[in-house]
Structure 1
Amino acid sequence: MHTYTSKINKSDLITIVAHKAGVEKNIAEKIIETFLATIINELAHGHAIGLSGFGTFENRLYKKKKMKSNLNGKISILDERYIPKFNPSKNVKEKMNLKNQ
């Protein structure tokens, strides 16, 4: 099997999914691409996505604010914007803490 760094990229994920599901890499790639595109599309339309046992993807509204640049001292304004947020489930949090012990 493939050796991974601490950060798994999309290509690594495709390889892992293909291996574990016993399917060709091109099929795993299509599934992952479709999954990610669906998450992005639903978030863009204002929907939260809850995956039981995994977590919830949702949009968070950040209000307009002023920021001062540390580089040049100029003040700029960040417009109101939505940023996607992931909240892991209790199950995921527990597994992460078991891994770190």
Structure 2
Amino acid sequence: MTKADLVNRIAEKTGIEKNDVQAVVELFMKEIKDAMEQGNEVFLRGFGSFIIKKRAQKTGRNISKQETITIPAHNIPAFKPAKVFLEAVKEKVPVS
């Protein structure tokens, strides 16, 4: 599902104009992004959490130059689904 598909489904189910729905979806994503850029995590009860994971410094290899490089410690955004959400997906999505 794309963002456009999401906007279309919400507009159909609520009867709200697509442009208004798109503005809300865009703002929702922007607020989550802004909060995480400031170092805050976002918790949506029953859905999941947008968290910041810390990656330690490590040694890597640049195979094209055959040299060892140091990858500095850094943070990455991650999503952790709520238990209710996780269980619903486990029950309803067929295993392929």
Which TM-score tier does this pair reach, normalised by the shorter chain?
0.7 to 0.9
Deviation at 1:99, TM superposition (A): 1.4
Say whether residues 1:54 and 2:47 are aligned partners: yes
Question: Which secondary structure does the structure 2 equivalent of 1:46 belong to?
Answer: coil
For residues 63 and 6 of structure 2, the distance between their equivalents in structure 1, rounded to whole angstroms, comes to 37
Superimposed CA distance per residue, residues 40-82 of structure 1 (whole angstroms, 9 cap, x where no aligned partner): 0001111111101001111111122111245553322222211
1:89 to 60, 74, 82: 82
Q: Which residue of the partner structure matches residue 35 of structure 1?
A: 28
Structure 2 counterpart of 1:30, one-letter code: A
Higher mean displacement: 65-74 or 35-44: 65-74
Structure 1 counterpart of 2:30, one-letter code: A
Q: Name the Cα RMSD after superposition.
A: 1.5
Q: Which residue of the partner structure matches residue 25 of structure 1?
A: 18
Q: Which runs of 5+ in 2 are unaligned?
A: none
TM-score, normalising length from structure 1?
A: 0.83
Q: Which runs of 5+ in 1 are unaligned?
A: 1-7
Q: Which residue of the partner structure matches residue 4 of structure 1?
A: none
For residues 70 and 57 of structure 1, the distance between their equivalents in structure 2, rounded to whole angstroms, comes to 34
Aligned positions, number: 94
For residues 20 and 70 of structure 1, the distance between their equivalents in structure 2, rounded to whole angstroms, comes to 52
